Amino acid sequence: DVGTNIDIAALDVQNRVGIAEPALPEAVRRLGVTTKKANTDILMVLGLISPNGTHDQKFLSNYVNLYVKDALLRVKGVGDVQAFGQPFSMRVWLDANKLSQLGLTPADVSAAIQEQNTRLAGGSVGGPPQNGSQVFEFSVLLDGALTNEEEFRNIIVKSRDGSIVYLKDIARVELGEFAYTTRAKINGMVSSMMAINQTPGGNAVETAEGITKALEELKKSFPKDVDYKIGYETVSVVNVSINNVIHTLVEALILVTIVVFLFLQSWRATLIPVLAIPVSIIGTFIFFTFMGFSINVLTMFGFVLAIGIVVDDAIVVVEAVQHYMDHDGLSAKEATRRAMN
């Protein structure tokens, strides 16, 4: 509904998601459900590239998810950043024939990986019931998380009758991407793409400037042979619309000055519409905040139309007022009143 508070709406959605979450499949709950405040229209699409081909898409995608995405989400006006590239993930390719020969199932392999790739709390050292002379207490963390391909290959999947079956005996393990669903290139260069949406009611121009500034700051710490390219953005259309409004306003003032002065031969009559037109147009911006409008293509198009209407009315009214003052001898107030009737 128009006028709905976005923060309250997001909270309502989050509450309803919490109610429905127990009924969701386990895979969905494990990945998580998030609620975000963002427009459906894309503000900007950009990508990280390796101009000399030093880094592949896997590296670029992982770098985007680790360092770039969160930094852009902190920019004022950014509602969501969708990274199409996938982060690093350990890929396990099972050999169905070997599994069948050893009487194993994919569920057995999954359970073994989960059991041997964990991080557990190991208690504390120096806490109760130690004696009172112990001053410090240290927490112990058992870090059993595996970090490289070799450690995953040596996971014990089965141990029976003195024989051990390792993961490397029944599968191929390699460091890859979480999913291979997206591939992108910019000017023939491999790229990791991102789509950015702004928050509802946000200023597109200010948001785009903030994104560009954040990217330039991030670029200082980019690895060698990593750069970014903006493939699509909508702000230039808004900027063109603003320039058209300014151009139309200047043209209107010049034409009004020429037309009114040539036909009425009076600088006083000319000065009135020349001052009234910009004051009325600029004064309209005061109501933008109160009415909930923003500077966009539609509002700028409306301004162009409004300038034409104001110019037309200004010329007609000034000419009528001048006519009543010159021919009927009316005062400026009475002439204006009659001209407006």
DSSP string covering 104-172: --HHHHHHHHHHHS-EEEEEEES-TTS-TT----EEEEEE----SHHHHHT-EEEEETTEEEEHHHHEE
The structural architecture, per CATH, of the domain 90-177 is 2-Layer Sandwich (3.30)
pLDDT for the residue numbered 316: 83
Task: Please give the CATH number for the structural domain made up of 238-340.
Answer: 1.20.1640.10
With a cut of 60, say whether residue 2 has pLDDT above it.
no
| pLDDT interval class at 97 (50, 70, 90) | very high
Query: If you average pLDDT over each of 42-51, 229-238, 274-283, which comes out highest?
Result: 42-51
More confident residue, 37 or 226: 226
Summarize pLDDT for 288-330 with one digit per residue, the tens.
777 777 666 677 777 777 777 877 787 788 888 888 888 888 8
The pTM of the full predicted model, rounded to 2 decimals, is: 0.59
| pLDDT interval class at 132 (50, 70, 90) | low
Summarize pLDDT for 145-159 with one digit per residue, the tens.
777 888 888 888 888
The answer to whether 203 touches 209, Cβ cutoff 8 Å, is no
pLDDT for the residue numbered 210: 92
The answer to whether 48 touches 192, Cβ cutoff 8 Å, is yes
Phi, psi of 180 (to 5 degrees): -115, 55
Kindly state the DSSP code that residue 77 receives in the 8-state scheme. T
pLDDT for the residue numbered 215: 93
CA gap 111, 195 in Å, rounded: 36
Q: Which residues belong to CATH 3.30.2090.10 in the chain?
A: 90-177
Average pLDDT of the chain, as a whole number: 81
With a cut of 70, say whether residue 287 has pLDDT above it.
yes
In the structure encoding, which two tokens stand for residue 178, read together?
């979480």
3-state secondary structure at position 22? helix
The separation between the first and the last C-alpha atoms of the chain, rounded to the nearest angstrom, is 40
More confident residue, 286 or 324: 324
Query: Which helix or strand (DSSP H or E) is residue 234 part of?
Result: none
Phi, psi of 163 (to 5 degrees): -105, 145
| pLDDT interval class at 143 (50, 70, 90) | low
CA-nearest of 240, 243, 216 to 227 is 216
Q: Given CA atoms 120, 126, 130, 132 in this order, what sign does their dihedral have?
A: negative
Q: Which residues belong to CATH 3.30.70.1320 in the chain?
A: 36-85+186-233
Cα–Cα separations (whole angstroms), residue 45 to 63, 184, 201, 211: 17, 12, 20, 11
CA gap 296, 200 in Å, rounded: 13
pLDDT for the residue numbered 211: 92
Domain 36-85+186-233 of CATH type 1.25.40.10: no
Q: Where does residue 193 fall: left (phi above 0), alpha (psi -120 to 50 degrees), or beta otherwise?
A: beta
Helix axes 267-284, 235-264, angle to 10 degrees: 160
Residue 172's contacts (CB-CB under 8 Å, 6 or more residues apart) are: 92, 93, 95
Q: Which residues belong to CATH 1.20.1640.10 in the chain?
A: 238-340
* Interior angle at CA 132, CA 128 and CA 135, nearest 5: 90
List helix spans (H) across the chain: 6-20, 26-31, 57-63, 69-73, 96-102, 106-116, 149-153, 167-170, 204-219, 235-264, 267-284, 286-291, 297-327, 332-340
